[in-house]
Amino acid sequence: QWIYLNGEYVAKHEAKISVFDHGFLYGDGIFEGIRIYNGNIFKCKEHLDRLYDSAKSIMLDIPLSYSEMERALIETIRKNGMNDGYIRLVVSRGDGNLGLDPRRCPKANVVIIVEQLAIYPPEAYVNGLKSVSVSTRRNIPDALNPKIKSLNYLNNILVKIQANLAGAGEAIMLNAQGYVAEGSSDNIFIVKNGVVFTPPCYVGALEGITRGAILEICGKIGLPVRIEPFTLHDVYVADEVFFTGTAAEVIATCEVDGRVIGSGKAGPITTRLLEEFRKIVEIDGLK
């Protein structure tokens, strides 16, 4: 396995970052998780747009141009002979001193890892995940804006721990006002009377690339969509509830806080959206 590390390709056990890197010391950095399907980088432009927007927002200079980054991704995939898998692209503030001032970090560290993906077993897409709502609230705009895909994932990790303790596969995170925001690392959708709902990002959700792809598919196949805030009550009484994310794709949750959702299995709209999604991943990507 070859890791891209600041312009070089190094073996996995030699891919090392300094303990003075501010990504390590402070979680100061950004990242993307991207899928490779059939040798294509799925939604490459969308992921790189989000990466460069996150960088701009936190005043982080990425030492590669957009096209250099594209080439680095393609070359890392090629070197690893990967046809289907996952790319983790990390840009941290770089090596500094123990103070948190980013001016002491002259150059960002850039890492690209490609790996096989540990995905849910096929039956999970039929039977759905069990999920629970958790007490940890989603980061609020200004402090840790959910639109910035930063290395500060402590909230999400606390959420994952709560889900693990409850024996659930995903969690439902609310914002400070109690509106449903998203999962621990997935966006959330509900379906009621044939209408698909997802929270707006200002409620406290990452602008997920898979979320965007699903909204596009809904438009294409004529499913009505409403992007509006909703509560846990709406989730409990929904006909279908599903999560979307780069790794998870489209996965139903059939039990939320002990309430059975719909038939207790992935519903027809979730199943259709997953089918349509899997059709586009094969063709829609950067070769």
Q: Which amino acid is it at 76?
A: T
Q: Which amino acid is it at 62?
A: I
- Using CB atoms within 10 Å of the CB of residue 235, give its burial: 0 to 12 exposed, 13 to 18 middle, 19+ buried: buried
In the window 40-69, what residues touch ligand PMP (CB under 6 A)?
none
Residue 220 to residues 2, 141, 216, 225, 277: CA-CA distances in angstroms? 39, 31, 6, 11, 12
To 10 degrees, the CA torsion angle through 61, 65, 70, 73? Answer: -50
If one asks whether residue 33 binds ligand PMP (CB under 6 A), the answer comes out as yes
Asked if 250 and 277 touch (Cβ cutoff 8 Å), the reply is yes
Shortest separation between residue 202's beta carbon and ligand PMP, angstroms? 14
Residue number with CB closer to ligand PMP (76 or 139): 139
Shortest separation between residue 16's beta carbon and ligand PMP, angstroms? 25
Shortest separation between residue 96's beta carbon and ligand PMP, angstroms? 26
Report which of 88, 185, 179 is spatially closest to residue 129, judged by C-alpha positions: 185
If one asks whether residue 145 binds ligand PMP (CB under 6 A), the answer comes out as no
Residue number with CB closer to ligand PMP (245 or 262): 245
Tell me, by CB under 6 A, how many residues bind ligand PMP. 14
If one asks whether residue 246 binds ligand PMP (CB under 6 A), the answer comes out as yes
If one asks whether residue 73 binds ligand PMP (CB under 6 A), the answer comes out as no
Residue number with CB closer to ligand PMP (185 or 253): 185
Residue 147 is a catalytic residue:
no
Residue 251 phi, psi (nearest 5) = -135, 130
For strands 129-137 and 170-174, give the pairing.
Answer: parallel
Asked if 129 and 70 touch (Cβ cutoff 8 Å), the reply is no
Could you tell me which stretch among 52-60, 240-248, 256-264, 266-274 binds ligand PMP (CB under 6 A)?
240-248
The single residue among 156, 162, 175, 253 that binds ligand PMP, judged by CB under 6 A, is 156
If one asks whether residue 249 binds ligand PMP (CB under 6 A), the answer comes out as no
To 10 degrees, the CA torsion angle through 230, 233, 236, 240? Answer: -20
Shortest separation between residue 215's beta carbon and ligand PMP, angstroms? 11
Shortest separation between residue 156's beta carbon and ligand PMP, angstroms? 6
Residue number with CB closer to ligand PMP (206 or 274): 206
Q: Rg of the chain over CA atoms, in angstroms?
A: 19
Asked if 23 and 33 touch (Cβ cutoff 8 Å), the reply is no
Contacts with ligand PMP, 173-212, as mask; x by CB under 6 A: ---------x--xxx------------------x-xxxx-
Asked if 234 and 180 touch (Cβ cutoff 8 Å), the reply is yes
Which is the catalytic residue, given 149, 265, 279, 287? 149
The single residue among 245, 262, 267, 285 that binds ligand PMP, judged by CB under 6 A, is 245
What positions carry a catalytic annotation? 149
The site for ligand PMP (CB under 6 A) is made up of: 33, 156, 182, 185-187, 206, 208-211, 244-246
